[in-house]
Chains A and B, each alone.
Chain A
C-alpha cells in the first residue's frame, strides 16, 4: 500500500483534489466539476478526456505555468453515486466494499468503509468455517455493517452537496457528523452484542471512552508502546 496525502484544489475554473504519493513522484487529480466564468458548475468533466484537455486541467489545478511539463499516464472515469444495497448477504454470498455501498469521494470514506466491512466479516467467517461459532453469527454482518454503510453513504452525500453541487436535492440532507466518528465510531446493535448500547447517538466518538456494548474498546496507552486496541487478538480466555 502506498501512503498518500490529499490536497484539495479549488480555483475559479475547477473543483477537485490531488492525491500524491508521500514520495511526491506520482499522484492523480480527481475532478468534481469545471466552473464557467458565470459561476455555473459542470460535473460532466468526463465528456472530454483527451490528453490535451487532461494536461490543461492538471495545469489549471496546480496553478502552474501553461508550459509546465505534465505527463498523463492514465485516465479513469468515475461517477458520483450514493447507494446502499438492500441486503449485504444472501445464503453463502456476502457483499463488501463498493459492491455493498457506493458513495461520492467527498470525505474519503469509500475505501475505508470497505475495509471495515472486511474486518467485520473475516473473523466471523473464520470462526464459523472452523466450527467455533454457529452460523447465526454471520447474520450479524448485515445487521452491523448495513446501517454503518448507509450512514456513511449519507454523510458522503451531504459533503458532496455542500462542497460540490448545491443544486442537488437537499430535502433529506443529513447534518454533517464528525469524520473520525464516521470512520471508527460505528455502534453495532446485533445478535453478536448483548445489552443496549448506552450511547444515544448513532456514532460513538473513538476519542472518548463510552465503553458501551457495540462500540470499540477505547484506546488507552499501555507500556512499551502498546495500546488496549492491540489486546483483543492476544487475550486468551481466562
Chain B
C-alpha cells in the first residue's frame, strides 16, 4: 500500500477502505470511511473527469 496512505490510516486510528490507483495518466490514493466520507486523498484539485475515472478504477469498473 502507498506509504503515505498507511501513515494516514494509522493516524486516524481506524480501519478504512484504502485503495491505490496507478495508471499512466492517473495516480492517487483515497481513504474512504465506512460512512462514505472521504477521510484522506492524494489526488489534489482533480478535475471532474479525473475523479470520475479514479472512482471507476477504484471500483474496478471499466
Give chain A's interface residues, CB within 8 Å of chain B. Answer: 119-120, 123, 127, 132-134, 136-137, 188, 191-195, 198, 209, 211-218, 220, 222-223, 226, 228-229, 231-233, 235-238
A222–B61 Cα gap in the complex (Å)?
7
In the bound complex, do residue A137 and residue B13 qualify as a contact, i.e. CB atoms below 8 Å apart? Answer: yes
In the bound complex, do residue B55 and residue A217 qualify as a contact, i.e. CB atoms below 8 Å apart? Answer: yes
Nearest B residue to A188, CB-CB = B37
In the bound complex, do residue B1 and residue A213 qualify as a contact, i.e. CB atoms below 8 Å apart? Answer: no
Contacts of A220 in B (CB 8 A): 52, 55-56
Q: B14-26 vs A: 1/0 string, CB under 8 Å?
A: 1111111000000
Which residues 1-19 of B sit at the A interface, judged by CB distance below 8 A? 1, 8, 11-19
In the bound complex, do residue A192 and residue B39 qualify as a contact, i.e. CB atoms below 8 Å apart? Answer: yes
Would you give 8 A-B contacts (Cβ < 8 Å), ordered by A? A123-B35, A133-B14, A191-B12, A192-B14, A213-B39, A218-B55, A235-B59, A237-B18
Nearest A residue to B53, CB-CB = A220
Nearest A residue to B43, CB-CB = A211
**Within the complex, what minimum Cβ distance (angstroms) separates A17 from chain B?**
31
Main secondary structure, interface of B, reads mixed
Q: How many interface contacts (CB-CB < 8 Å) are there between A and B?
A: 104
A226–B43 Cα gap in the complex (Å)?
23
Give chain B's interface residues, CB within 8 Å of chain A. Answer: 1, 8, 11-20, 31-41, 43-46, 48, 51-52, 55-56, 58-59, 61-62
A212–B30 Cα gap in the complex (Å)?
11
In the bound complex, do residue A123 and residue B34 qualify as a contact, i.e. CB atoms below 8 Å apart? Answer: yes
Main secondary structure, interface of A, reads loop
Interface centre among A123, A218, A220 (most CB of B within 10 A): A220
Nearest B residue to A120, CB-CB = B35
Contacts of A226 in B (CB 8 A): 59
In the bound complex, do residue B14 and residue A132 qualify as a contact, i.e. CB atoms below 8 Å apart? Answer: yes
Interface centre among B34, B44, B58 (most CB of A within 10 A): B34
Contacts of B55 in A (CB 8 A): 217-218, 220, 228
Cross-interface CB contact of A235 among B1, B32, B52, cutoff 8 Å? B32
Contacts of B38 in A (CB 8 A): 193, 211-217
Cross-interface CB contact of B59 among A119, A214, A222, cutoff 8 Å? A222
> Can you add 19 more A-B contacts, CB < 8 Å, to A194-B40, A222-B61, A228-B59?
A120-B35, A127-B34, A132-B14, A134-B13, A188-B37, A193-B38, A193-B39, A193-B40, A194-B8, A194-B12, A211-B38, A213-B38, A214-B38, A217-B38, A218-B51, A218-B52, A220-B56, A222-B56, A238-B1
In the bound complex, do residue A232 and residue B32 qualify as a contact, i.e. CB atoms below 8 Å apart? Answer: yes
A123–B32 Cα gap in the complex (Å)?
13
In the bound complex, do residue A194 and residue B39 qualify as a contact, i.e. CB atoms below 8 Å apart? Answer: yes
Contacts of B48 in A (CB 8 A): 209
